[in-house]
Chain A
């Protein structure tokens, strides 16, 4: 008899969600985490003394409402919502703020274009409806296309509601929009660059492409479906940083009886008679289980935890062909005071600054930022996504001081000019220079800075090529194709071996859905 029902390799948020669900269902669960803290890419770290920083992920609002509810997380962690969904300073010193409230946003938009202001509510309505359908897809276990089983049809029934609400006449819109570039989609509705940039930028926040590329309308929709704001992105801060969120997940899992060990690096999955039967730690220690689940990315899972020669040629070729391609750097700044944005001069800036801040004045700007990555260069005028979490949770920094966390795009994994280490600080300078055009005092208030390039994200957080999503969120790596067709249902060709990370459907972002879906499939198999 095995020691455990399930061993989960990796205590990233998805691994913890899977652990919590399985433990909740009465399974004996062991979670093994290589690092000294749980959370994976959703962690709070004291990068500067006295500052608690969400080093990689900081989009807390994406965690699925279902997961939150079913694992009773609200009792364990507090999130501070923000009324501002995106504060977008413009190069001409004006600004556009997207509020949760549609009417209020429309009034803002009217300053740029009356026509756009009129279109905005219609756009939000259409996108929300389509996003509901996409959201339904996300919580599904993808069918084994082109085959569709009875069970798939039953699962698919969950889509009927959202599709009905969308309306038959708009089904073509759904099909037409999904593979489109977000830029084309936004051009159909809006004429003002600022508006297009404000909404469209988040379509590429998590992928390598620019907004003119096909498939980015889908990423916009998937962000929309998970944001919790009813809009294209989430807004809000976890008290205590992202680590508090994964800490809460770990507590929930423990509360259900799961055992979690940190500092326990798994060197391999033990396979006997073509079945995963346990794991071996790098210490040599072994644990047996009826099922093993990997929260690691697919390449790590199949090349390192398992032996690649277990798999047929198509399988290894498909794994080899998974596109990872990190494209962003994370830059954290310790600030002695708040940045003063020209666009907010003379008023109370706190409201706008407590939500996400976007430097993406137009989609051409973002696209041009992207263009250089094709030639192995970082952007000279980067697209920036900023968050000052200390405005929502002052406890994250010493009194009166602030954290500014930046996702800076684009920063390709490989630079033509050579090793990133030689260019890391100059890219950070470019980022700060860009920021200074909007908030001129920024250089004066920076007391410390920390730069994580894609190779840093890879080496420090185990994110291959620095992609936090364990593989690009593109259409060819979506749904029944994610991470590769034969593993899209969370199972692998090795019996008893599962995947639950962001490499699986529906992919990255701190949604917990891959973990949730994987747990569901594991429970189905072990009934």
Chain B
């Protein structure tokens, strides 16, 4: 069976779908091929247990680029975010800290721990806002080729220099710091209260095999703040019906523009002839042809699995092999018979928001040290959300769906036996730890889904289970993502492109890589 298209997208993750939607919108005949039976990649909803919708992997939306929402009319296709306006942190001493979006509540709660921190909170927001503002244009640039800069690349570098000078010294210097510091050191320049540093620090380690005290995590913190610039402050939340709804909205937009989307269609390889990509072959032997093939997969899959080494220059192969993934997180999803009880909870409204198990900086750091040589944290740092509290479509009435994002879980858990044993041990560590803070949790569990980094790799195709398709460290950003000279969404194979989170501007449900890749494929115009 053969069919011809203008463009074929390998992978129906949110970036692949975004790229497809833009290409279809520009009049291209587009085919999206997703290996799984559902769309979304890591932004996916599935009914794993009857009556309950799980946001299997990604569970909150905050970084989705506003221009994508606008241009692809995502609201029309079902994008609907329930705002998440608090983070509740139960502490080991029975107290708790809640970070509220509401200013008066926030000041009162900060002030309970430190008047100084209450004041510094607004200064911290100001700095993060300025930093996000400073980095924002970079998100929109196609990274220049710094080995052989083209005229456009030189223009980009010149713009970048001008932008940096325009920031003023204070902001520029702060930016220099945030690019290289540890999240905790950076936060320590603003906050004195441990639990306040801990909960802010969580954003610095999400998806990263680094501790809050590891240099480089302040940048990850900033990455998670980026969404705040364009939306309302702390604009994050859960998609109605689970995170898969975001992917479905993008897919809806793509379909409306004529894109064809197939699930359960795993691509075995990209067909390359005379140095050009001409089509793809599915695992079942079907072939589809197009002049443009775009991979939404991570760099390892894109360069080392879908195409052959002989079609790539040795330099690039070496760089791709050096690219670091190091999945750091696992996921536990629970179907619950009722709401968990947190003895330290005083304001029940905070269950609408996130519940972060990160009672102290030391706790998070210990969790990291536990897992960094392999295995997982015995007492992990976790971000828990119960979307069914605000979204009745997630679970039957009176019952709840709980999503637990867990740090740290190393890719290598071999010390715990076979894969099933590893998963079991990991899941137990999560539930045991959670029950320290919500003692009734074990009695409520109707069903439990546990995903280790290895499971994420197997099921979703994320190498080593890295949710960002590659670590967000300085040596893997911008013109180095995924490799110097090939950060402009192109590949050495003519007609073969990349559009996943392994390209600039990186991971999270941003749709940024998909959009920028589409723009490049379309010759600079969307």
Q: Is the CB of A179 within 8 A of B362?
A: no
B116 within 8 Å of A (CB atoms): no
The minimal Cβ–Cβ distance linking A217 to chain B, given in whole angstroms, is 9
Closest to B476 in A: A176
Report which of A171, A179, A209, A321 forms a contact with B146, defined as CB distance below 8 A. Answer: A171
Annotate A345-364 by CB proximity to B: 1 below 8 A, 0 otherwise. Answer: 00000000000000000001
Cα of A145 to Cα of B171 in the assembled complex, Å: 11
Which residues of B, 357-380, contact A by the 8 Å Cβ criterion? 362, 365-366, 369, 372-373
Residues of B within 8 A of A145 (CB): 172-173, 176
Residues of B within 8 A of A180 (CB): 473-475
A309 within 8 Å of B (CB atoms): no
A146 within 8 Å of B (CB atoms): yes
Residues of A within 8 A of B161 (CB): 146
Cα of A145 to Cα of B174 in the assembled complex, Å: 12
Cα of A215 to Cα of B189 in the assembled complex, Å: 20
Residues of B within 8 A of A147 (CB): 165, 169
A172 within 8 Å of B (CB atoms): yes
Q: Is the CB of B475 within 8 A of A371?
A: no
A154 within 8 Å of B (CB atoms): no
Q: Is the CB of A474 within 8 A of B215?
A: yes
A214 within 8 Å of B (CB atoms): yes
Which residues of B, 151-176, contact A by the 8 Å Cβ criterion? 161, 164-165, 167, 169-170, 172-173, 176
Annotate A461-500 by CB proximity to B: 1 below 8 A, 0 otherwise. Answer: 0000000000000111000110001000000000000000
Q: Is the CB of A321 within 8 A of B189?
A: yes
Q: Is the CB of B362 within 8 A of A188?
A: no
Residues of B within 8 A of A371 (CB): 369
How many chain B residues have a CB neighbour from A under 8 Å? Answer: 40
Residues of B within 8 A of A310 (CB): none
Cα of A474 to Cα of B211 in the assembled complex, Å: 17
Cα of A399 to Cα of B474 in the assembled complex, Å: 53
Once A188-B322, A215-B180, A481-B176 are accepted as A-B contacts, the answer to whether A172 and B215 lie under 8 Å apart by CB is: no
Q: Is the CB of A215 within 8 A of B215?
A: yes
Residues of A within 8 A of B484 (CB): 172, 175-176
Most buried by A among B164, B180, B315, B479: B180
A151 within 8 Å of B (CB atoms): no
Closest to A176 in B: B475
Once A214-B216, A321-B189, A374-B365 are accepted as A-B contacts, the answer to whether A474 and B180 lie under 8 Å apart by CB is: yes
Q: Is the CB of B474 within 8 A of A485?
A: no
A437 within 8 Å of B (CB atoms): no
B147 within 8 Å of A (CB atoms): yes
Q: Is the CB of B480 within 8 A of A485?
A: no
Cα of A476 to Cα of B215 in the assembled complex, Å: 9
Cα of A501 to Cα of B451 in the assembled complex, Å: 53
Residues of A within 8 A of B215 (CB): 209, 213-215, 474-476
A311 within 8 Å of B (CB atoms): no
Cα of A236 to Cα of B211 in the assembled complex, Å: 37
A78 within 8 Å of B (CB atoms): no
Report which of B173, B372, B473 forms a contact with A481, defined as CB distance below 8 A. Answer: B173
Report which of B146, B176, B213 forms a contact with A374, defined as CB distance below 8 A. Answer: B213
Residues of B within 8 A of A215 (CB): 180, 215-216
Residues of B within 8 A of A424 (CB): none
Cα of A177 to Cα of B473 in the assembled complex, Å: 11
Once A145-B172, A171-B147 are accepted as A-B contacts, the answer to whether A364 and B373 lie under 8 Å apart by CB is: yes
Which residues of A, 279-337, contact B by the 8 Å Cβ criterion? 314, 317, 321, 323
Residues of B within 8 A of A480 (CB): 173, 176
Residues of B within 8 A of A212 (CB): 214, 372
Q: Is the CB of A214 within 8 A of B474?
A: yes
B185 within 8 Å of A (CB atoms): yes
Cα of A212 to Cα of B326 in the assembled complex, Å: 13
B300 within 8 Å of A (CB atoms): no
The minimal Cβ–Cβ distance linking B294 to chain A, given in whole angstroms, is 24
A458 within 8 Å of B (CB atoms): no
Closest to B145 in A: A172
Closest to B180 in A: A475
B244 within 8 Å of A (CB atoms): no
Report which of A176, A209, A474, A475 forms a contact with B480, defined as CB distance below 8 A. Answer: A176
Q: Is the CB of B147 within 8 A of A146?
A: no
Q: Is the CB of B165 within 8 A of A146?
A: yes
Q: Is the CB of A184 within 8 A of B324?
A: yes
Once A371-B369, A474-B180 are accepted as A-B contacts, the answer to whether A314 and B170 lie under 8 Å apart by CB is: yes
Q: Is the CB of A172 within 8 A of B173?
A: no
Residues of B within 8 A of A368 (CB): 373
Cα of A475 to Cα of B369 in the assembled complex, Å: 23
Closest to A488 in B: B173
Q: Is the CB of A168 within 8 A of B169?
A: no
Q: Is the CB of B216 within 8 A of A172?
A: no
The minimal Cβ–Cβ distance linking A498 to chain B, given in whole angstroms, is 20
B181 within 8 Å of A (CB atoms): yes
Which residues of B, 286-323, contact A by the 8 Å Cβ criterion? 315, 322
Cα of A146 to Cα of B168 in the assembled complex, Å: 8
Q: Is the CB of A146 within 8 A of B172?
A: yes
Cα of A145 to Cα of B164 in the assembled complex, Å: 9
Most buried by B among A171, A175, A177: A175
Once A180-B475, A364-B373 are accepted as A-B contacts, the answer to whether A172 and B480 lie under 8 Å apart by CB is: yes
Annotate A121-161 by CB proximity to B: 1 below 8 A, 0 otherwise. Answer: 00000000000000000000000111100000000000000
Residues of A within 8 A of B170 (CB): 314
Cα of A29 to Cα of B480 in the assembled complex, Å: 49
B130 within 8 Å of A (CB atoms): no
Residues of A within 8 A of B146 (CB): 171-172, 175
The minimal Cβ–Cβ distance linking B358 to chain A, given in whole angstroms, is 15
The minimal Cβ–Cβ distance linking B173 to chain A, given in whole angstroms, is 5
The minimal Cβ–Cβ distance linking A417 to chain B, given in whole angstroms, is 15
The minimal Cβ–Cβ distance linking B205 to chain A, given in whole angstroms, is 13
B177 within 8 Å of A (CB atoms): yes
Closest to A147 in B: B165
Q: Is the CB of A172 within 8 A of B181?
A: no
Which residues of A, 403-444, contact B by the 8 Å Cβ criterion? none
The minimal Cβ–Cβ distance linking A153 to chain B, given in whole angstroms, is 13
B485 within 8 Å of A (CB atoms): yes
Q: Is the CB of A481 within 8 A of B177?
A: yes
Residues of B within 8 A of A314 (CB): 170
Annotate A18-57 by CB proximity to B: 1 below 8 A, 0 otherwise. Answer: 0000000000000000000000000000000000000000
The minimal Cβ–Cβ distance linking A363 to chain B, given in whole angstroms, is 11
Cα of A176 to Cα of B362 in the assembled complex, Å: 30
A169 within 8 Å of B (CB atoms): yes
Cα of A146 to Cα of B176 in the assembled complex, Å: 10
Residues of B within 8 A of A171 (CB): 146-147
Report which of A169, A177, A188 forms a contact with B147, defined as CB distance below 8 A. Answer: A169
Cα of A393 to Cα of B315 in the assembled complex, Å: 48
Cα of A459 to Cα of B372 in the assembled complex, Å: 36
Q: Is the CB of A485 within 8 A of B216?
A: no
Closest to B148 in A: A168
Cα of A147 to Cα of B161 in the assembled complex, Å: 9
Cα of A364 to Cα of B374 in the assembled complex, Å: 12
Q: Is the CB of B480 within 8 A of A476?
A: no
Q: Is the CB of A179 within 8 A of B172?
A: no
Q: Is the CB of B480 within 8 A of A175?
A: yes
Residues of B within 8 A of A476 (CB): 176-177, 180-181, 185, 215
5 interchain pairs, CB-CB under 8 A: A172-B484, A212-B372, A317-B189, A364-B373, A374-B369
User: Which residues of A come within 8 Å of B, CB atoms?
Assistant: 144-147, 168-169, 171-172, 175-177, 179-180, 184, 188, 209, 212-215, 314, 317, 321, 323, 364, 368, 371, 374-375, 474-476, 480-481, 485
With A172-B146, A475-B215 known, 6 other A-B pairs at CB within 8 A are A169-B315, A172-B484, A179-B179, A364-B373, A476-B180, A476-B215
User: Which residues of B come within 8 Å of A, CB atoms?
Assistant: 146-148, 161, 164-165, 167, 169-170, 172-173, 176-177, 179-181, 185, 189, 210-211, 213-216, 315, 322, 324, 362, 365-366, 369, 372-373, 473-475, 479-480, 484-485
Closest 6 CB pairs of A and B: A172-B484, A214-B216, A179-B474, A475-B180, A214-B215, A146-B164
